[in-house]
Amino acid sequence: MMNTRRLAVCSLALLSGFASGETDLPIREVTVFKDGHAMVIRSGVAATNEAGDVVLEELPLPVLGTFWAFENTDRASLRSVRAGRVEEVSQVEPGSVQDLLLLAIGEQVALQLSGGTELSGALTKVVGGGGGTALVSNEDGLVAVPMGHIQRVNFQNTEVAERTREVIRQEERLTIDLGWETAPAAEADVGMAYIQKGLRWIPSYRVTLLDDNTARIELQATLVNELADLEDVSTHLVVGVPMFAFEHTLDPIGLQDQIAELGQYFRRQDQAAGMFSNALMAQSARMNESRDWSGPAHSGNQPDIEVGGSESNEDLYVFHVDHVTLAKGERLVVPIAVAEVPYEPVYTLELPIAPPTETWRHFNTDQQRQIAQMLSQPSATHVLRITNTSEHPFTTAPALIMRDGRPLAQNMMRYTAKKAEVDLEVTKAVDIRVEASSKEGGRDERSLEWNGHTYARIDLTGLAEITNYKTKSITLEVTRFVLGLADGASHDGEVSQIDFFTDLDWTDPTFQWYRWYGWPWWWSQLNGAAKFEWEIELEPGEKIELESNWHYMWG
């Protein structure tokens, strides 16, 4: 059974997407998806203005159609939410000699210029602002001095140092318009929920082999927060995610033309778009998450992070983590769950598909070399066949495999439903020797007349000589895919025709040669693909030769 634990480690909290002000709505709850989106719920009792409305500083950047506001106040109802900009006037102290001069028009000054020159008189005007020209009047007349040449100023009036200047800024405001049955109250309980990008969780596993049949599976979550400060937030980590059809379109309520630049963990790359996919039934078997990152851990007195229960809802599975505090820009690693599950050590061997002999002349020298190298290097793989007897599904994530305190390998854990099996690759089995070949067994040049054309039948025989050099017996599962029609297999091998377009792994690099040739229109009409499968037991030192037979038509 999966256990949950209470942890006293750096806390993790979510998204304070609004600047704190007179009416700050704290983040209460966050639901975090692996693709970097998070659903944020903010609520609280906030002060109202004279009209009885709640005005918030700073706006969220929600995905189009995901922003919803609400109120929980007696005698009040939500009428609308308005986003806009207002002019804010503030007093700013001078930050440089040039700023002081802008505030000292009409004052007597003594200037020390670059090169040691000094100039005294009344500062009558500054043309062009802080980077412009100061006009100083004295007995010599009106002297123009570039502001950048002024290194030091002596003021006769010391009150200049107390002066400030007005700055007008455009500030964003979000107004929750409340309709009141009677006179507005001084406070109102309001909130909002929205989906915004900038917070994600990255799962990872540690698989410890306890013996030859049992493994301990530990899941931890790394939270990457580039959205806002979080404090004591209830957090939900989701395996699976609904499709956000408008994820690249911001809601107009955000008043932003484009989303702020986020870090590498939130950038979608074409080749890696499917990696760490959150669609529950379509998680990819490959990933490109080997990017380095580093960041300071959150320190200080934190509330205890509490890993709570979990639940399944529709196509989503959720882990709950309470009391999360995490500043924007920080990272947090939290253990989530642990289980002991059964596994079986299995060896698998997949023999690569060879192109038909007639196609070789269409490949260039380098392509022929690549194909020959691929065909000459089949190797068996040691995998752990794990049965998920835990209370949770396994999610797609990197998995570190350990035994006796030492790492054996790291590979990809694929999504696995409860009670289902998953193969976790450990390493190539170098002490299982494989020699594979295929040869033409016969040719009938006029085997078929079809659609006005004559086609030859080419019969082939594939051989795979396998030797177990291990000191113990092994279970070996052998698979061979071929282009053509299956005729039979030795050693009680299972033979089946498969769908040429859906059952072959078109992403396998050993099959890339298929795209190098312009296949004739009749190829898929007369031929297909076949699969041969064997499950064999090999004793130490035992050798076996597996034979497969098939044919294809060529015109």
Residue 176 in any domain: the answer is: no
Query: How many other C-beta atoms are found inside a 10 Å radius of the C-beta of residue 491?
Result: 12
Q: Residue 516, SS3?
A: helix
Place of tokens 């004052």: 107
Residue 541 in any domain: the answer is: yes
Residue 156 in any domain: the answer is: yes
Write out the residue range of the structural domain in which residue 424 sits: 342-554
Question: Can you give the pLDDT of all 555 residues of the chain as single tens digits?
Answer: 444 333 222 222 223 333 333 457 999 999 999 999 999 999 999 999 999 999 998 789 999 999 999 999 999 999 999 999 887 777 777 777 888 888 888 889 888 888 888 889 888 888 887 788 888 888 888 988 888 888 888 888 888 878 877 777 778 889 999 999 999 999 999 999 999 999 999 999 999 999 999 999 999 999 999 999 999 999 999 987 678 888 888 888 988 755 556 777 776 543 333 333 333 333 322 223 333 333 333 334 444 555 545 555 445 789 999 999 999 999 999 999 999 999 999 999 999 888 999 999 999 999 999 988 888 888 999 999 999 999 999 999 999 999 999 999 999 999 999 999 999 999 999 999 999 999 999 999 999 999 999 999 999 999 999 999 999 999 999 999 999 999 999 999 999 999 888 888 888 888 888 989 999 999 988 998 999 999 999 999 999 999 999 999 999
Alpha-carbon span 247 to 237, nearest angstrom: 19
What are the backbone dihedrals phi and psi of residue 135, each rounded to the nearest 5 degrees, phi first? -105, 115
Closest CA to 2 of 394, 420, 424: 394
Give the per-residue pLDDT at 19: 34
| Strands in 469-508 per DSSP E | 474-483, 485-489, 494-498
Residue 447 in any domain: the answer is: yes
**Structural domain count, the chain:** 2
| CATH number of residue 157's parent domain | 2.30.30.100
Residue 10 in any domain: the answer is: no
Query: Which of these three, 129, 163, 197, is where a domain ends?
Result: 163
Residue 440 in any domain: the answer is: yes
Give the per-residue pLDDT at 286: 26
Residue 433 in any domain: the answer is: yes
DSSP conformation letters of 301-363: S-PPEEEEEEEEETTEEEEEEEEEEE-TT-EEEEEEEEEEEEEEEEEEEEEPPPPPGGGGGGS
224 close to 263: Cβ distance less than 8 angstroms: yes
Side-chain-side CA neighbours of 429 within 13 Å: the count stands at: 27
Give the per-residue pLDDT at 325: 96
147 close to 113: Cβ distance less than 8 angstroms: no
pLDDT tens digits, 59-81? 899 999 999 999 999 999 999 99
Query: Which of these three, 148, 163, 178, is where a domain ends?
Result: 163
Query: Which of these three, 110, 142, 163, is where a domain ends?
Result: 163
Residue 120 in any domain: the answer is: yes
